[in-house]
Structure 1
Amino acid sequence: MKHAVLSALLSVAPFALLADPLPSWTQSDSKAAIVAFVEAVTEPDGPDYVSPADRIAVFDNDGTLWAEQPVYFQFIFAMDRLAELAEQDPSILTTPTLKAAAEGDLATILEGGHDALIEVVNASHSGISVEAFQAAVADWLASTQHPDTDLPYDQMTYQPMVELLRYLRDEGFTTYIVSGGGLHFMRVFAEQAYGIPPEQVLGTYGTTSYAQVDGVPTIVKEPGIAFIDDKEGKPINIERTLGKRPILAGGNSDGDFAMMEWTTAGDGPRLGVLVHHTDAEREWAYDRESPIGRLVDGLDKGPDMGWVIVDMAQDWSRIYTGAN
Structure 2
Amino acid sequence: MSTSHLESWNDGAAKRAIVDFVTSAAAEGTPGFVPRADRVAVFDNDGTLWVEKPAPVQTAFILGKLAARVKEDPSLADEWPYRAVAGDESFLHALEVQDADAVTSMVEAVGAAWEGTSLDAYEAEAARYLASWRHERFGLPATGLVYQPMLELFDYLRAAGWRVFVCSGGGRDFMRVISEETWGLPRENVIGSAPEFAWRDGVPVRQAVLHGPVAIGPGKPEYVLARTGRLPRFAAGNDDVDVELLASAQFALLVVHDDDVREYAYTDGAERVRATARREGWTTVSVKDDWNAVLKERPTQEEPSAPHQ
* TM superposition score normalised by structure 1: 0.81
* Aligned length, in residue pairs: 289
Q: 2:224, 2:62 → 1: CA distance?
A: 26
Identify the residue that residue 96 of structure 1 maps to in structure 2.
77
Identify the residue that residue 12 of structure 1 maps to in structure 2.
none
1:223 aligns with 2:204: no
Aligned equivalent of 1:137, options 114, 117, 126 = 126
Identify the residue that residue 263 of structure 2 maps to in structure 1.
283
1:170 aligns with 2:145: no
Aligned equivalent of 2:19, options 35, 53, 75 = 35
Identity of aligned residues (%): 33
- 1:139-161: CA deviation from partner (whole Å, max 9, x where unpaired): 11111111121100121011111
Change (3 A) 1:118 1:248: closer
Q: 2:216, 2:281 → 1: CA distance?
A: 22
On the 8 A contact 2:3/2:19 being kept in 1, the answer is: no
Change (3 A) 1:278 1:111: closer
Task: Give 2:34's aligned amino acid.
Answer: V
Say which SS state the counterpart of residue 248 (structure 2) adopts: helix
Task: Give 2:256's aligned amino acid.
Answer: H
Q: 2:105, 2:34 → 1: CA distance?
A: 45
Aligned equivalent of 1:248, options 213, 220, 234 = 234
Identify the residue that residue 117 of structure 1 maps to in structure 2.
106
Range 167-176 or range 74-83, more displaced: 74-83
Q: 1:320, 1:273 → 2: CA distance?
A: 19
Change (3 A) 1:47 1:133: same
Q: 1:127, 1:93 → 2: CA distance?
A: 21
How far did 1:123 drift? 5.0
Change (3 A) 1:160 1:219: same
On the 8 A contact 1:100/1:108 being kept in 2, the answer is: no
* TM superposition score normalised by structure 2: 0.85
Aligned equivalent of 2:40, options 52, 56, 65 = 56
Q: 1:111, 1:192 → 2: CA distance?
A: 30
Task: Give 1:43's aligned amino acid.
Answer: A
Q: Unpaired runs of 5+ in structure 2?
A: 95-100, 300-309
Q: 2:3, 2:17 → 1: CA distance?
A: 18
Q: How does 1:1-324 map to 2 (within 5 A)?
A: 20-44=4-28, 46-83=30-67, 85=68, 90-96=71-77, 105=87, 107=89, 109-110=91-92, 114=102, 117-118=106-107, 120-122=109-111, 124-212=113-201, 217-226=202-211, 227-263=213-249, 270-287=250-267, 290=268, 294-323=269-298
Q: 1:187, 1:18 → 2: CA distance?
A: 30
Rg bigger for which structure?
1
Q: 2:110, 2:74 → 1: CA distance?
A: 13
On the 8 A contact 1:271/1:306 being kept in 2, the answer is: no
